[in-house]
Amino acid sequence: MKSYRIIFYSLLVLGLSSCNLGDDGPNFHFTALQITSAELPESFDLNGTYEIKVTYVRPDGCTFFEGFDFVKEDVTVRNVVAVGSVRTDQACTAAVEEEEATFVFVVLFDEPYTFRFWQGTEDGTDEYFEVEVPVN
C-alpha cells in the first residue's frame, strides 16, 4: 500500500512540474481610443438620467472597445476617454473603423456640465473637444 502512495505522489509531482503553458506575459494592453463625436441633449433636467452616444475610432482589427474612463476635473467638468484593449498575440487587419458606444449619465448638480472628449495627443499634449450642457 505504501508503494502505491509513493508512485501516486511521484506521478502527481512529475505531472504538475512538467506543465508549461508557454505564458510569457500578458497578450494585451489598454489604450485610449480617439473620440470623434458625441450626441448630448441641448439641456439636462436636474436628477435626470441620460444615455450619451459616442463615436470613437477603432484603429485596427486587434483593438476592442472595453468601456469609458471618466475623470472629474471639477464639480461639473468631466473628461471622457474611450478605452480599448489591444491584442498583441495575433496578426491585425489595418482597417480603421468608426464605431459607437453609449454611457449613462445622471445629473446631480444644477450647474452647466462640461464634457471634454479625448481626441488624441499632439506634441505630447492631450487634445479634447468640449460640449457644455446647461441644466434646467
Helix (H) or strand (E) holding 9: helix 2-17
Question: Does the structure show a pLDDT above 70 at 34?
Answer: yes
Residue 76 is placed in which grid cell?
461639473
Residue 12 is placed in which grid cell?
502527481
- The reported pLDDT for the residue numbered 117 is 98
- The reported pLDDT for the residue numbered 48 is 98
- Are 129 and 117 a contacting pair, CB within 8 Å? yes
Tell me the pLDDT of the chain averaged across its residues: 89
Q: How much is the average pLDDT of 75-100?
A: 93
Domain boundary assignment for the chain: 22-133
Give the least confident one: 15-24, 37-46, 85-94. Answer: 15-24
Per-residue confidence band for 8, with pLDDT thresholds at 50, 70 and 90: low
Question: Does the structure show a pLDDT above 70 at 81?
Answer: yes
Backbone angles phi, psi at 104, to 5 degrees: -100, 135
- Are 38 and 52 a contacting pair, CB within 8 Å? yes
Per-residue confidence band for 95, with pLDDT thresholds at 50, 70 and 90: confident
